[in-house]
Amino acid sequence: MDSAAFLPPPPPPSSASAIGRPAAATGAARWRVGSAAASAFEKSGVSPKKLNALLVKAGRPPRDEAKWARAIEGSYLLVHAKLLATGDLVAFARATSDQALNGTVWDVVVDPSLPDVPLMRRNVVKYLLNELRRSVPGCSVTLFAQPDDVDFYTGLEFVADAEDVHGMALIEDPDVGFHS
């Protein structure tokens, strides 16, 4: 089962900032990571079909495309990276938030054929966290990590739940099980 990890809230910001959907929610902030360009908030730039292709490439099962479309639309923040040369999707993460107290990081996935997968994953997650913290100051951030990813997320200042709480999921088909 997955382990819960929490990122404690930061100290309050020195100046007040507006709480609500990030200003760039309909646009895109862009940066370059090696041979990939990364974008934040550009919901139109990620299709369910391309997300499923990335999941399969990373060894994860694909998901229903209609549900992906709803998840993308319902996300508070998105970050994705595409190769500059081909435009192929190579990394993705998203966050949900109540826009007051909590945020949750979901669906962090990186193409395993990239030359530095941990660096891309780190950059995508850090960018997502920075934007979440900027737009919802003081919020707690939660994610659920596979046991072999706990050290990676600890390096990003997440801490494993002290009481060893494990994520639980209510699923329609118990024979399928929970897959992240």
User: Which one from 153, 165, 166, 167 is the annotated catalytic residue?
Assistant: 153
Q: Classify burial at 63, counting beta carbons within 10 Å of its beta carbon; exposed 0-12, middle 13-18, buried 19 or more.
A: middle
> In whole angstroms, what is the distance from residue 167 CA to residue 144 CA?
7
> In whole angstroms, what is the distance from residue 174 CA to residue 162 CA?
28
Q: Quick one: tokens of 34? A: 């090696």
Amino acid sitting at position 23: A
Is 76 in the active site? no
Contact residues for 172 (Cβ-Cβ < 8 A; gap 6+): none
Active site residues: 153
